[in-house]
Structure 1
Amino acid sequence: MSIVYLNGEYLPMEEAKISPMDRGFLFGDGIYEVVPSYNGKLVGFGPHIDRMDNGLAAIDIQLDYSHDQWREIATSLSEKNGAGNLGIYFHVSRGADSKRSHAYPEGVSATVFAFAFEIPPEPVADRNVVKPYKVSTTQDLRWKRCNIKSTALLGNVMHYQHGHSEGSGETILFNERGEMTEGSAVNAYIIKDGKVITSPLDEQILPGITRLILLDVLRKDGSIPVEERVVTMQELRNADEVWITSSSKEVAPVIEVDGKAVGDGKVGDIWEKAQALFSAHKYNY
């Protein structure tokens, strides 16, 4: 039986109840995070909570939870759900009001919900065992504040479904200028002539925690050059390697874009080195 956290209480999932007037349900009015945990060891915990705090501030949800409180919740959920390989999901909505109104209500308390779910084992930096991805592309039709990790994910869901319907594991998006933004649930990268290149952070792109850690690790190591700049879709299609990153995928290689092979159609050696570096340092954040 899964144990969850709801507004200060740990209880079985089946007993957790949230009002149908909660603005998270009615409007998608909230912020969320997912923190990977392998045998009780959290990946990128500090940056995840910083991003959640930034998101809450951006949409003016008042919640006075410290990093230590969030860590205690994550640790308790891991222990109460058998540790192992878990994703710890944090969800904060504005709370429940007595009426449905678009304006932010006054005098309501935020709803804080968290649960743990199983995730695959830690990725291994071995091109012979990694599961590579095939992706589709389409124009980015989401809202203009993608840097906020909102619970209102219908745009992302529809883009993900686009790829799923075409037999792909992800969808990489491009804006009206033909520039790569990100994926429906991932950040995206190309590798050309030995250099890792990814789109710069702006309102089109979620500041991914795996992205943050990966780029920091690569820059500190210095053996693989990194560049943040505009990437055209033509560059994506002519790349030597393509990667996608997320908390659940870590650094995942892509071998096919829109049915065409990336490079020689095999997982690249630069990916293998980057994933090894990420694995060696990911618990330091």
Structure 2
Amino acid sequence: MSRTVYLNGEYLPETEAKVSIFDRAFLMADGVYEVTSVLGGKLIDFAGHARRLERSLAELDIKKPAAFGDLLEIHRKLVDLNDISEGLIYLQVTRGAPGDRDFAFPDPETTEPTLVLFTQNKPGLSDNPVAKKGIKVISIDDIRWGRRDIKTVQLLYPSMGKMMARKAGADDAWMVEDGFVTEGTSNNAYIVKDGKIITRNLGTDILHGITRAAVLACAREAQMAVEERPFSIDEAREADEAFLTSASAFVMPVVEIDGASVGTGTPGPVAGRLREIYLAESLKAAL
């Protein structure tokens, strides 16, 4: 069955939704996006995603879509129209299609952005069996641009990183810059040592993860020690546990880095407990 998607004010069958070949996302990767999880038919961390979207648009001087104030209603309608119990809603805003191809972009106030939303049905998202066995990651050089705090659609290198991991028999890659882990290809990275959760501090070199913020809040509420600072791959290999967070993986244990087992080589208690707490608290606050 064809999905119903949202495009610039219309709900359409996915086969009928069309975007101009001159849209700057297609020509220049000139756009931003968000992904919101759906559990039990409700939206997880929607307010955080909306705030980050607004920030990304402002940082790139992209005009907010006219429907920005209706995004919650649009998300809910897509959940209903596509009968999503567990899954994801992808949202993308681009600078639009102002005319012919040009490096310079026009006055943001005179260019209408393109707004696209679509759903992905993913039954079993919350009870993912992978979380019970953990995943393997490799390390790769981080050669992305310097504004990783903006959630842009420039995802070629992260995509290449995932393919590097697959070729190496792993599940994902952690990127390393100047000797320290920045983040995963589509997630934030963490280690646990002597009961303390360690993750890179916020800045322009990592995405300010919405799930990251919620998980760290859960950790502190549960009286877990948290330290926000860079850590190296060598430090990660010597950790007791490692894990990652994202809107689709929630809290995912990492049991191997570059072929070396982390801790016992099995998911640890801190990651497991955080996953339980995060899912329980998120469902309570879901919209």
Give the TM-score of the pair, scaled to structure 2.
0.94
Q: Could you tell me which residue of structure 2 aligns to residue 213 of structure 1?
A: 214
Partner Cα distance (2:172, 2:23) in 1: 31
Aligned length: 282
Gaps of 5+ in 1: none
- Relative to structure 1, the CA distance from residue 130 to residue 123 in structure 2 (aligned partners, 3 Å threshold; closer, same or farther) is farther
Counterpart contact for 1:217–1:278, Cα < 8 Å: yes
- Relative to structure 1, the CA distance from residue 97 to residue 67 in structure 2 (aligned partners, 3 Å threshold; closer, same or farther) is closer
Secondary structure of 2:132's partner? coil
Gaps of 5+ in 2: none
Counterpart contact for 2:44–2:282, Cα < 8 Å: yes
Which structure 2 residues correspond to residues 176-255 of structure 1 after superposition, within 5 A? 177-222=178-223, 224-255=224-255
Counterpart contact for 1:138–1:172, Cα < 8 Å: yes
Does residue 108 in structure 1 map to residue 111 in structure 2? yes
- Relative to structure 1, the CA distance from residue 66 to residue 10 in structure 2 (aligned partners, 3 Å threshold; closer, same or farther) is closer
Shift of 1:124: 4.4
| CA RMSD between the two structures | 1.7
Partner Cα distance (1:277, 1:10) in 2: 36
Secondary structure of 2:18's partner? coil
Higher mean C-alpha displacement, 70-79 vs 157-166:
157-166
Secondary structure of 2:217's partner? helix
Secondary structure of 1:130's partner? helix
Alignment partner of 1:161 out of 156, 160, 163:
163
Which amino acid is 2:238 matched to?
N
Partner Cα distance (2:54, 2:164) in 1: 31
Partner Cα distance (2:182, 2:201) in 1: 9
Q: Could you tell me which residue of structure 2 aligns to residue 143 of structure 1?
A: 145
Give the TM-score of the pair, scaled to structure 1.
0.94
Q: Which runs of 4+ in 1 moved over 4 A?
A: 64-68, 124-127
Counterpart contact for 1:124–1:130, Cα < 8 Å: no
- Relative to structure 1, the CA distance from residue 171 to residue 132 in structure 2 (aligned partners, 3 Å threshold; closer, same or farther) is same
Q: Could you tell me which residue of structure 2 aligns to residue 281 of structure 1?
A: 281
The percentage of aligned residue pairs carrying the same residue is 38
Secondary structure of 1:242's partner? strand
Counterpart contact for 2:133–2:266, Cα < 8 Å: no
- Relative to structure 1, the CA distance from residue 55 to residue 215 in structure 2 (aligned partners, 3 Å threshold; closer, same or farther) is same
Shift of 1:67: 6.3
Which amino acid is 2:137 matched to?
V
